[in-house]
Amino acid sequence: MSTTSNEKSYFDLHTSGIGYIQRVREVPVRGGRRAQPFLACTIAALVGSAKDPSYRYFDVKVSGAEAK
């Protein structure tokens, strides 16, 4: 007997460390009556050895009233 599962699956990224916020910007949106610009930024996260770190970049959309 087999069962089919319709559960949604997804990946979450949980991390801690040090990074820098770069390229804070308001992104204009075209089209639609309710289209509104949104706030975005790039996070440059330090990864690797503490003696020779490198950067990993995350381009993200800012959400939440407190963050804005």
Tens of pLDDT along 6-26?
A: 888 888 888 888 899 999 999
Mean per-residue pLDDT, 1-8:
72
Rounded average pLDDT over 30-58: 90
Contact 18, 40 (CB under 8 A): no
pLDDT of residue 23: 95
Mean pLDDT for the stretch of residues 26-53: 90
Q: Which amino acid is at 29?
A: V
C-beta of residue 34 within 8 angstroms of C-beta of residue 53: no
Is residue 27 within 8 Å of residue 42, measured between CB atoms? no
> What would the two tokens of residue 52 be?
């020779």
Distance of alpha carbon 39 from alpha carbon 63, whole angstroms: 8
